[in-house]
Amino acid sequence: MGYFCINPSNLISGMMRDWFLGNAYESIDLYNFLPKEMEI
């Protein structure tokens, strides 16, 4: 349908991972993805 939705679970977990590892935060696009199992 072409909608862009932000998945808060992926965003927060990705940012927490980077925070724990001491990495710089990435853009939302890099955190906001569907795992291969969920792609249609």
Local structure of 36: helix, strand or coil? helix
Q: Model-level pTM greater than 0.95?
A: no
Where do runs of H (alpha helix) occur along the chain? 8-21, 28-31
Q: What tokens appear for 20 in the block?
A: 């724990």
2-39 pLDDT, tens digit each: 677 778 888 898 899 999 999 999 888 888 876 666 66
Q: How far apart are CA 27 and CA 38, in angstroms?
A: 22
